[in-house]
Amino acid sequence: MTSTAPDAPEGPDVPAVSMQSLGDVAVVGNGTVGALIDSQGRYVWGCLPHLAADPAFCTLLNPVTPDQGFCEIELEGMARSHQRYLPNTAVLVTTLEAEDGSAIEVTDFSPRFRRWDRLYHPVMFIRRIRPIAGAPRVRIRVRPLAEWGARVPDRTSGSHHIRWVLTDTTLRLTTDARVPLVERELPFVLDRPVTLVLGPDETLNTSVESFAREAYDRTVDYWQSWSRSLSIPFEWQEAVIRAAITLKLCQYEGTGAIVAALTTSIPESADSGRNWDYRYCWLRDAAFVVRALNQLGATKSMEEFLGYIYTLASGIGEMQPVYGIHFEGTLSEIDEPNLRGYRNMGPVRSGNLAFQQKQHDVYGSVVLASTHLFFDQRLTTPGDGAAFEQLERAGELAYQLYDQPDAGLWEFRGREGVHTYSSVMCWVAADRLARIATRLEQPKQSQLWRSRADEMRERILAEAFDPTVGAIMETWGGTRLDASTLVLADLGFIQADDSRFLGTLDAVEKQLKRGEYVFRYIDADDFGEPHTSFNLCTFWYIDALARVGRIDEARELFNNMLERRNSLGLLSEDIDPRTGELWGNFPQTYSMVGIIQSAMRLSKPWEAHS
C-alpha cells in the first residue's frame, strides 16, 4: 500500500501497476456525482446521474465485458505517475511521465460554485489535459457501461461531441480534441491543451475551453473559500481539511442525504463475502458526519441533512436505519452478475437489506444530529417549538424501544439482542430532548425527558455492566465485548473516570485490540470471524485514551492512523492489521469523521503557538 507521512499534502510517485488498490485512488465530485480516479488518471468508478445510480465507470469492480467501464488518458510508454490535490480543494492533478521523458498533466474536477444566487453542481466531470514535457503521444478512451456492466451503451457522435445512452441518462462528451481521434481511440501527439467535458446531453453555449476554464477557476475558489471558513485545529490541518472536503463530497445536494461511502461491494477483507452497498444514507453514519462538520463550524451540512430527516420523518412512525438518497424506503438487495468484484472478489451487490432491520439507535441519531440546531446562534433558522415537537416523536419511540432487541449498529443478520449502543442512543434522545426543552424554556417537558433519561440510564447500566468482567458488554446480560462501548463517554452517558468505563476500556484493549488497531468485535458472526479492524473503532479507542489522560499513547496511535491513509489522504472502512492494507468501501465517511474528531481532541491549542 502506498501511504504518506502525517500531514503530507502530496503522494509519492507511483509506478504503473495492474492490480487495483485503494492505496492509490483519489476522489472527485460535487455533491451530485462522484468518481474514483486511479494513479494513472483513469476513472474506475462513477455513478450517473447521481451518487447512487448505475455505475457507468465500474472497472474498479472488474466487469465481465472486457476492457470496458472506464475513462482514461493513455500516455504511450508511461513509466510513472504522481497525483496531488490542489491545496484545500477537490481538484485533482495527475502527472503522467513516459520513458522517453515526455509528460502530461491531467486536471480533474466536478464544477461546484455559486451561480445565479444558488449552488451550481451539475452532472458533470471535467478533464483538462496539457503537455508539460517533450512530445507526448496519447489516446483518449471513454468506455462507459450500462445496467451494472451488462450493456455496452449505444453511441452517436457529432462534430464536437460523442453521446452514450446509459441506463438513467445520456452522457455527452463535449471536447475540443478532434472527435474522430477520440471516437476511434487513435493515438496522437498532444501539442496543445485539450479539454473533455463529460456531462448531460446539452450543447455548451460557449467554447469548451472557456467553459472549463471558468468552471475550474470558480470551483477552486469555492473549495478554498469553504476550507478557509473551517475552524480547524492547530495540528494536522491538511488531514482535517482533506477529511472535511471528502465528507462534503458524500452529501447529496439534491436532498441533503449523506451516503456512507461512494462505492459498493469492496469487501471488508479478502474473499470474505462481506460486500455491501454503502451508497445510501444511514441516519447513524450521517449523524456522526454532522457532528464532525459542526465541530469545524460547517453547519450548513447539518441544516441540509436535517431538511432530509424532517422530510423523511413527516407522518411516519418507526424509522428505518437507512434510506435512499431520494427518500426511498425499499433498498432491495440484488447480486449484479456482470461485475466480478474488487480483485474478482464478488459478489457485487446493489441495494442493502439493512433497510428491513430494527436498529433502535436511529432515534438517538436523529435527535443528536438536530441538537446543535437549538444552541448555535449563528444559524439563520434555529430550532423552535415545532421542530422540538417533531423530535419528541422520535424520543417517544426511543423510550418505548430502548430495552427491546434489535440488530445493533453492526447490523447482524443472524442474531438480535438488546444492544447496549442502541439503548444508550435511545438515552441520548431523552437526554438531549431534556436539554433542548430547558433551552426553549419548557420546564414541564424538560422534567419529563430528564426523568426518563435518568430512568433509562440506571436500567442500562444495571443490565449491560458485567461486574465479573468489570466492563460494559455488547448486549444486556451478554458475554461479548463491543468497541462501540468506547463512545459512551463521548456521548455523555458515563464519565471517563468512572470505574465502569475504565474497566470497559481495559477489557477492549485486551480482547479487541490487535497491534495498533481495534476490531468491532472478535466473535464469529454470519460470515465467520472478522479479519480486519474497523477504522472508526480505532479512532474511538484513541478518543477514549485521551479522555482518561493517556495523551501520548493516543497521539502515537493517531499518527499511525494518518500514515495508513492512502497517497491522497483518504481512508476506507477497514484495515488489515497484519499488512496495513485498506479494505472496505471507499472513501468511508466514518473513517474520515474519526480523523476530524481525533485531531480536534488531541491537537495542541492555537494559543500555545500564537
DSSP state letters, 466-517: ETTTTEE-SBTT-----GGGGGTTTTTSS-TTSHHHHHHHHHHHHHHEETTE
Amino acid at 239: A
Residue 377 phi/psi, 5-degree rounding, is -75, -5
* DSSP assignment of 234-246: SSSHHHHHHHHHH
Could you tell me the fold of the domain covering 14-226?
A: Beta-galactosidase; Chain A, domain 5 (2.70.98)
Q: What is the pLDDT of residue 18?
A: 38
Residue 165, exposed/middle/buried by CB under 10 A (0-12, 13-18, 19+)? middle
The CA distance from 262 to 325, in Å, is 12
- CATH number for 229-609 (one of 3.40.47.10, 2.40.40.20, 1.50.10.10, 3.30.360.10): it is 1.50.10.10
Does the pLDDT at position 7 exceed 60?
no
Q: How many CA atoms lie within 13 A of 458 on its CB side?
A: 6
CA distance 23 to 83: 12
Q: Give ∠ CA 242-245-246 in degrees, rounded to 5.
A: 85
Asked if pLDDT for residue 229 goes beyond 90, the answer is: yes
- What pLDDT does residue 313 have? 79
Helix (H, G, I), strand (E, B) or coil at 47: strand
pLDDT at 12 exceeding the cut of 80: no
Residue 38 identity: D
Is 528 a residue whose pLDDT tops 50? Answer: yes
Say whether pLDDT at 297 is over 60: yes
Collect all residues with Cβ–Cβ distance below 8 Å to 386 and sequence separation of at least 6.
Answer: none
pLDDT in tens, 32-71: 999 999 999 999 999 999 999 999 999 999 999 999 999 9
Residue type, 268: E
| Amino acid 4: pLDDT | 32
| Cα separation, 289 vs 535, whole angstroms | 15
Identify the helix (H) or strand (E) that includes residue 249: helix 237-249
pLDDT at 1 over 50: no
* Location of each CATH 1.50.10.10 domain in the chain: 229-609
pLDDT tens digits for range 161-173: 999 999 999 999 9
579-595 as b/e, with b when 16 or more CB fall inside 10 Å? ebbbbbbbbbbbbbbbb
Q: Nine-digit cell at 26?
A: 483519489
pLDDT at 316: 62
Amino acid at 474: E
What local confidence, expressed as pLDDT, does residue 17 receive?
Answer: 31
- pLDDT digit string (tens) for 374-407? 998 888 889 999 999 999 999 999 999 999 999 9
pLDDT class of 524 with cuts at 50, 70, 90: confident
Amino acid 448 reads L
Lowest mean pLDDT across 431-435, 510-514, 524-528, 583-587: 524-528
Alpha carbon 406 to chain centroid distance? 25
pLDDT-based confidence at 525, cuts 50/70/90?
confident
What residue type is 48 in one-letter code?
L
Region(s) of the chain under CATH 2.70.98.10: 14-226
